[in-house]
């Protein structure tokens, strides 16, 4: 006899803050996610979902595969390849597509993509990384209905979502609303005794937490790490910092990567978003990390991908940051070509690798008098 809390799937986390961890998922986790994600993403018997995600990722297995089957839809499975994707969209009349920002960017950069028949596309679901307004506008020109939210392996996939239909403003206002059956709270850090921290007021930044039937069973063979992630009351601590209000969830960044130059708390996404908006059209992905600084304790280093036909200098980036607080400005800017940022296996920016790259640059920068000043 199978019961709802029986384990049925082991999925490794993406490893964006360290080594991937084996998350143990149960039947109840997946079924709850199927109902909520299915309704918010408008998946039904008429849906034809293109699934070109890696099977090792939670979005492929529980979000797209399991939800489409649960809601009675049809799924087209294939490896990710821009040309083959457009051919499949036209041939199979695909209605839904899900991916991380990098995948969609590769699609509309494909030569002659506008010549393919995309008229069947109804819903595009994206997540995994914050994007500038220009990117959202580009996606909506390709697919009329956009759906975004926060996806977490330890919660069997989607945890928040915006409502369809929505405007670009709606998407930019936040990364989705709290889903039924899975309450979202923003809290202070977990207490030393393993109980959940105090809940924050609306609009206050804290750690994003969830409680309910989507909370996973734990990390396989690692009760200590599980206890650091799920409180005694069953509150899941995501490691993401953010706030929640009437417009939805607002992501501030990973707790592990919050920078503290001059004693101030700076969220990488704030600096990245400012640079991306100020230099939109000229640059690709922006990533900032903290590095040891003898004067500021921690200095900010920015890595900026510049588009092939554009010219952007480190000084241009510094000038673009003059309108933000001085402690939030990068102490050093590295200009790199598009595609040069290190990525995790799920194609997200690998901040752990980037911090190591920044650390490796310090001796040279110090020798040249470009750091610790």
- pLDDT tens profile 162-211: 999 999 999 998 999 999 889 999 999 999 999 999 999 999 999 999 99
Alpha-carbon gap, residue 373 to 367, rounded angstroms: 12
The CATH number that applies at residue 277 is: 3.30.300.30
The C-alpha torsion from 139 through 242 and 301 to 279, rounded to 10°, is: 30
100 — pLDDT class (breaks 50, 70, 90): confident
> Which has more pLDDT, 131 or 365?
365
Which of 174, 194, 221 is the last residue before a domain boundary? 221
pLDDT value for 253:
74
* Closest of 209, 196, 372, 183 to residue 295, by C-alpha: 372
232 in a domain, yes or no? Answer: no
Question: Is the same domain home to 273 and 160?
Answer: no
Whether residue 352 sits in one domain with residue 267: yes
The answer to the question of residue 373 being in a domain is no
| Window from 10-24, 62-76, 99-113, 191-205 with minimum mean pLDDT | 10-24
Element (H, E) at 366: helix 351-367
- Same domain? 50 vs 149: yes
**SS3 for 123?**
strand
Is residue 70 in some structural domain?
Answer: yes
Please tell me whether residue 246 adopts helix, strand or coil conformation.
coil
Label residue 207 left, alpha or beta by phi (over 0 means left) and psi (-120 to 50 means alpha). Answer: beta
Does a structural domain hold residue 206? no
Residue 17 has a pLDDT of 56
Asked whether residue 354 is domain-assigned, the answer is yes
Assess whether 168 and 296 both reside in one domain: no
Alpha helical stretches, state H, 261-300: 268-278
**What 8-state DSSP symbol labels residue 116?**
S
Task: Give yes or no: residues 164 and 264 share one domain.
Answer: no
Average pLDDT, the chain: 92
The CA distance from 120 to 142, in Å, is 11
Residue 249 lies in a domain: no
Instruction: Quick: pLDDT tens for 121-165.
Output: 999 999 877 787 888 999 999 999 999 999 999 999 999 999 999
Q: Assess whether 177 and 83 both reside in one domain.
A: yes
Q: How confident is the model at residue 60 (pLDDT cuts 50, 70, 90)?
A: very high
pLDDT bracket for residue 41 (50, 70, 90)? very high
Beta-carbon contacts of residue 326 (< 8 Å; ≥ 6 apart): none
Same domain assignment for residues 170 and 269:
no
Interval 211-242: pLDDT, tens: 999 999 999 999 999 999 999 999 999 988 89
Tokens 């977490």 correspond to 152
Query: Does residue 92 belong to any structural domain of this protein?
Result: yes
Q: In this structure, how many other beta carbons lie within 10 angstroms of the beta carbon of residue 334? A: 19
| Nearest alpha-carbon partner for 345 in 63, 142, 57, 153 | 57
The CATH code of the domain that includes 47 is 3.40.50.12780
How do residues 296-353 score in pLDDT, each as one tens digit? 888 999 999 999 889 999 999 999 999 998 989 999 999 999 989 998 877 778 888 9
User: Would 291 be classed as within a structural domain?
Assistant: yes
Of the CA atoms within 13 Å of residue 186, those in its CB half-sphere come to 20
Checking if the pLDDT of 18 tops 70, the result is no
- Which domain range does residue 341 map to? 258-367
Measured between alpha carbons, how far is residue 152 from residues 93, 216, 218, 282, 322 in Å?
29, 10, 13, 31, 35
pTM beyond 0.85: the answer is no
82 with 173, same domain? yes
Co-location of 263 and 173 in the same domain? no
Split into its structural domains, the chain has a count of 2
Report the sign of the C-alpha dihedral through residues 362, 367, 370, 373, in that order.
positive
pLDDT for the residue numbered 77: 97
**DSSP type of residue 239:** E
For residues 27-53, give the mean pLDDT: 96
């Amino acid at each position: 006899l199978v019961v709802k809390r029986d384990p049925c799937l082991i999925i490794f986390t993406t490893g964006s803050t360290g080594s991937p961890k084996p998350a143990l998922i149960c039947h109840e986790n997946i079924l709850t996610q199927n109902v909520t994600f299915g309704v918010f993403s408008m998946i039904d018997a008429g849906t034809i979902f293109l699934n070109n995600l890696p099977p090792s990722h939670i979005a492929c297995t529980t979000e797209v595969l399991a939800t489409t089957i649960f809601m009675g839809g049809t799924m087209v499975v294939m490896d990710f390849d821009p040309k083959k994707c457009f051919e499949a969209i036209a041939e199979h009349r695909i209605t839904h597509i899900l991916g991380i920002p990098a995948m969609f960017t590769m699609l509309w950069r494909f030569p002659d993509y506008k010549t393919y028949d995309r008229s069947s596309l109804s819903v595009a679901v994206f997540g995994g990384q914050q994007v500038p307004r220009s990117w959202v506008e580009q996606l909506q020109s390709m697919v009329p209905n956009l759906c975004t939210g926060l996806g977490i392996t330890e919660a069997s996939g989607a945890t928040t979502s915006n409502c369809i239909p929505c405007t670009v403003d709606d998407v930019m206002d936040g990364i989705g609303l709290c889903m039924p059956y899975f309450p979202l709270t923003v809290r202070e850090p977990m207490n030393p005794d393993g109980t959940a921290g105090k809940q924050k007021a609306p609009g206050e930044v804290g750690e994003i937490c969830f409680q309910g039937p989507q909370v996973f069973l734990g990390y396989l063979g690692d009760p200590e790490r599980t206890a650091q992630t799920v409180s005694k009351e069953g509150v899941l601590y995501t490691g993401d910092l953010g706030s929640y209000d009437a417009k939805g969830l607002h992501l501030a960044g990973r707790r592990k990567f919050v920078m503290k130059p001059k004693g101030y708390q700076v969220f990488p996404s704030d600096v990245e978003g400012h640079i991306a908006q100020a230099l939109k059209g000229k640059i690709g992905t922006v990533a900032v990390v903290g590095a040891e600084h003898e004067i500021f304790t921690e200095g900010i280093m920015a890595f900026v991908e510049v588009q092939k036909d554009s010219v952007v200098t480190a000084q241009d980036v510094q000038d673009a940051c003059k309108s933000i607080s001085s402690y939030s400005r990068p102490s050093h800017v590295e200009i790199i070509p598009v595609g040069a940022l290190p990525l995790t296996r799920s194609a997200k920016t690998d901040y752990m690798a980037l911090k190591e790259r920044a650390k490796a640059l310090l001796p040279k920068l110090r020798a040249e008098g470009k750091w610790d000043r």
